[in-house]
Structure 1
Amino acid sequence: MHLETRDLYEPEDLDWNEWKAGNHFDPAVRWKTFHDLVRETTTRGVEVRRTRIVSEPVSEYIRFEYDVTEPHNLAAGEQVRWLPRRQTAGLLVPPNDFWVFDEQTVLWNFCDGNGTWMGEERSDDPDLAKLCVAAFDAAWDRAIPHKEYQPS
């Protein structure tokens, strides 16, 4: 499970800047390592799910993520949903992005105010993992599958 909550990541990212310049690359080639990992994982019967909480109208960066989701995430076997921020009232989600693995391990991702990745922190606290799974599942249930979501 991966919950993303920011409207901008890595402003200096080469792929993002290449996309902004109109060079629409093939994510399956560019991010082959990720594709292979997700494909191997889903082939074993493990679900890989991602929810992106986004502001609307969406930022240019979110348009980039949307544009590369089908040939990148979905092509690899990941399930992706989008949750407009205005539909999150009543949800309690952590303020940082996170991954949860096997409903036991949480990997926090930290960014600065501009979206630059600042590092990660792993937690094997089972109570924390349960809280993150509950937060993710609540967001997932409200979110819109990628093929049905149209960014505004």
Structure 2
Amino acid sequence: MTTTRISGAPRPTAGALRLIEGRSGSPTSVDVSSYVTAMARHCPFLAPSVSRELTGWTVYEIASADRFAVEAELFHAGVQAAEWIRPLKSRPHGTLTCENLVLLGSVPHIGHLELMRRPYWALRNLYAPVGVLFGKFCAGRWETDGFGRQIPPSPFSFLPVRAAITSRDPRFLANTPETARTLAAATDDGRDVFARIPCNWKAVQAQATDLALPGNDFWLIDGRTLVVHHFSGEGDVVDREVTTAPGTVMLCASAFEAVWERAVPHEDFRLT
């Protein structure tokens, strides 16, 4: 398996996240036990993953007031976690592998939800085609599961990274059809997910700098009505809003067209 070669070159943003505790099934810097017990009622794979010591927690603390640097290091940590998981998926019980990146500390005037948003979006889209799924949970934020049941709020913010269950996960992502289709067809053929773009946050951001992308997934109906979806960290819909405001509709329509123009036609796509 080729997977992605993570560059060992110095990163100018290194140090923006301080490693508090390396991967552990029972970290001491944060208390995960009661939360894991509560979450096991909502995720049928969590208990068997924990019992086989396949669930791990890596704890980071923000050590910079520079938002860009923190996002860059969170993105880098996500890449490391995903690439660690990829070769394990083919091993016995490998699909139960889950790595959780805990974020402590703060950046002035910016909440964790906003700090995680852009790295999460990029990582989710980069790794879904190879069957690695990212989530996003913010401390104290209530979520719902795929059956509409309320999930207890996490005591800390974190990005879960796990092997996708391609026979199950797409069903719970019906409201994000692009991601659902990608996961349903996911195959890890050893490709380098950064074959077309350098493996650094600045380059990833540059690919979308001039795109006015809406902050939420949406449906545009007949070019006049916008249905905006708000999701939990697991990709479940927690709210929908409908608007016909011309400015908002125009923004979303133009964003869709701009992204579509950059897409590679299916028949022209080649692995490199």
TM-score under structure 1 normalisation?
0.46
The structure with the greater share of residues assigned to helix is: 1
Higher Cα radius of gyration: 2
TM-score under structure 2 normalisation?
0.28
Higher RCO, 1 vs 2 (CA within 8 Å, ≥6 residues apart): 1
